[in-house]
Amino acid sequence: VFVLHVQQPQSVASISSWTVYRRLEMFEQLNASLQAEFPQLRLPVCPLLHANGLNMSNFHLIERCRDELQRWLASLMQYPYQNSLLQSHAFVNFISAEANQVPAGLLLSQHFFASHASTASTTASAADQSIGEMEMDFMFSNGDDNAKEDDQFHYDHMPPPSPSTAQSTLDTSNFDMQPADGKVTLDDFHLIKVIGKGSFGKVLLVRKKDTGVVYAMKVLRKENIIKRNQVEHTRTERHVLGYVRHPFIVGLNYAFQTAEKLYFVLDYCAGGELFFHLGKVQRFKEPRAQFYAAEITLAIEYVHNLDIIYRDLKPENVLLDENGHIRLTDFGLSKEGIQDDFSGANSFCGTPEYLAPEILNRSGHGRAVDWWSLGALLYEMLTGLPPFYCRDRDKLFEKIRQGELTFPKYLSPAAVDLLARLLERDPTKRLGTGPTDAGEIKSHPFFKEIQWDLLALGQVPVPWKPTFNGALDTSQFDREFTEMPINSPDTRTMYGSSVGRRQMFRDTEGLFQGFTYTDDDSYMEFANRGPLPPSHF
C-alpha cells in the first residue's frame, strides 16, 4: 500500500494537508478512469508493476515502484490540461477519499523516514496550485515478512487496463501481471495504400493485424537519410515523438527498423493535409483559419513548454483528423533544450517560404521563429499564398528580410493586426516573445471568440468535418499519392546483395541505435526527460 501525503488543496480550505492510502489497483483504476473520461487526450500511461511474489524485504525494489508511480502522478499534474484532469471526479476521489484512515493490518515501513521521503521522492506541483504537493511512502501487511529472498520483481509499462480490470476488487493480490512482448515488425501490418511521399520515403496507410487498428506508417530508406546527412534530424524526430503527447500533435505508436529502412507507425489522420484542402478552396474564411490557428497555437505552446522549438510549420505538416481537428506532424527539424525566445539554435533549416528573418541572417534563433511561421501560415490560410511568396529563392529571402508586407482589403482589422505583429522582423518585438509565450497570442482580439479551455478538450465545434465512405477511405489525400504503388523498386547502389544488406545493417546499427519503440515506452521516455516546465494553462 502506498501512502500519499497531500498538501495545500484549494478545494478544502479548512484543511492544509492530509494522508491517503492507496493500493496498486487504485492507481490502475485512476489511470483507466482518466483514459476513459479524456479519450481525446494522449495522457501519460500509468506504469504497472508486477511480480510473482514480490520480495517485501527488498525495499529498494519497493522504493522504485513508489518512485515510478509518483513520477506518473507528477506528469499528470504538469500535463497541459491539468485543470480539467485534477478537477475530475476520479482524481479528486483518488486524493481525498478515506483521508487519514490507515487500512487495517498495515504497518509503516521500518525503512521509512520523513527526511528520506522529502529528498528521495519527487515533489509534484500543479500549475494552478489546486494541489500544492504530494509525497509518497509505502506500507506492508503483517503477513508479508516470509517472502522468499530469490523472488524476482519485474517492471514493465503496460497498456491501460480494461474497464473490467479496473473494476476488480482491491483485495486481489498485487504485482501479478506478466510483461508483454512489445516487439513489432513489418509482418504485423497489412499495407493498404500510399497516402504521402517525401524526400526520404513514403507514408502508407496500414492496419495492424492483431487489433485491426489503422495507422499511418512513415517509411524512410536509411541510404537516403545517410546520403543527405539527415541522420541527426531523424534521430531527433524519433526522440521527440517518444515523449510528446498532445491532442493536436500526431502520436507515435511504434518504431522499428530493418537493415535498409526505418519505420514510424503514427496516428492516422484521415482528414489529410491542410495543404490539400487549402489548395481546393484557395483560401479559408476567417472563422476556419482562426480555428486552425488557435489549435496550432496550443500545440506550439505545448512543445515550447517542453523546451522544444518546432521550426517546420507549413500547410504540409498540419494534418486533419477524422473529426476535423489539426495535428502537427514531422518533428525532424525540431530542436530540444531551447528555453530562450531569441537564442539557443543556429542551424539554417526550415521551408523557405516560412523562414524567420533571424534564421536567414544566421544570427541565432529561439522560440520566436515558431510564432513567425504561425504568422506566415495564417497569412496563407487567409489569402491563399505565403506573405512574401516568390519563385526565385534569392528574391524570396530578400523580401522576407525587408520586403513590404501587404494585406488584402477583405481581412478584418484584428487579422491584419495579428499578422503584422507575428510577422515582425525584430524577434524581440514579435508577438509571443513575452514572458507568457503563447499567452500573448491567445489574448489577441483575433481570438476573442475562442474558448481556450474548451478548445483544448476538443469541445469547440469544428468549422469543417471531413466525410468518409468507410474506415479506409483516402479521398482526403491527393491522388498523386494514393495512386502510387506501395512497393517501389529497391535502390541498391550502396549495398546490392543480401550480404551487402547485412553489412549495411551492421554499418548503420550505431547510427539508429535505440530507434525501436512501442507506445508503452512513452511514459518512461517522458519521465526520463526530467521535470516539466510550468504550463501556461
Q: What is the pLDDT of residue 244?
A: 94
The answer to whether residue 151 is catalytic is no
CATH topology of domain 283-456: Transferase(Phosphotransferase); domain 1 (1.10.510)
Nearest of 347, 380, 293 to residue 389 by alpha carbon: 380
pLDDT tens for each residue of 143-153: 333 333 333 32
CATH class, domain 186-269+478-524, is alpha beta
pLDDT tens for each residue of 373-403: 999 999 999 999 999 999 999 999 999 999 9
Q: What residues does each domain of the chain span?
A: 2-166, 186-269+478-524, 283-456
How far lies 374's CA from each of 179, 312, 421, 422, in Å?
A: 43, 10, 11, 7
Asked if residue 255 lies in contact with residue 263, where contact means CB atoms within 8 angstroms, the answer is yes
The string of DSSP letters for 364-410 reads -B-THHHHHHHHHHHHHHHHSS-TT--SSHHHHHHHHHHPPP---TT
395 annotated to a ligand binding site: no
- Mean pLDDT (10-residue bins), the chain, 537 residues: 65 60 82 81 67 47 71 74 72 80 56 35 37 50 37 31 28 27 85 90 94 95 91 93 94 94 96 96 98 98 95 97 96 93 89 95 94 98 96 95 96 98 97 94 98 94 93 91 79 43 54 69 51 32
Q: What is the pLDDT of residue 7?
A: 65
CATH class, domain 2-166, is alpha beta
Question: Contacts from 235-240 at CB under 8 Å and sequence distance 24+?
Answer: 235/511, 235/512, 235/515, 236/331, 236/332, 236/333, 236/334, 236/335, 236/336, 237/264, 237/330, 237/331, 237/332, 237/334, 238/262, 238/264, 238/515, 238/517, 239/336, 239/525, 240/308, 240/331, 240/334, 240/336
Q: Residue 98 region, left (φ>0) first, then alpha (ψ -120 to 50), else beta?
A: left
Locus of grid cell 506501395: 486
Q: What is the pLDDT of residue 165?
A: 28
Q: What is the pLDDT of residue 494?
A: 39
* Whether the domain at 2-166 and the domain at 186-269+478-524 fall into the same CATH topology: no
Strand 2-7, strand 17-22: pairing = antiparallel
Angle between helices 286-305 and 368-383 (to 10 degrees): 160
The active-site residue out of 307, 312, 330, 519 is: 312
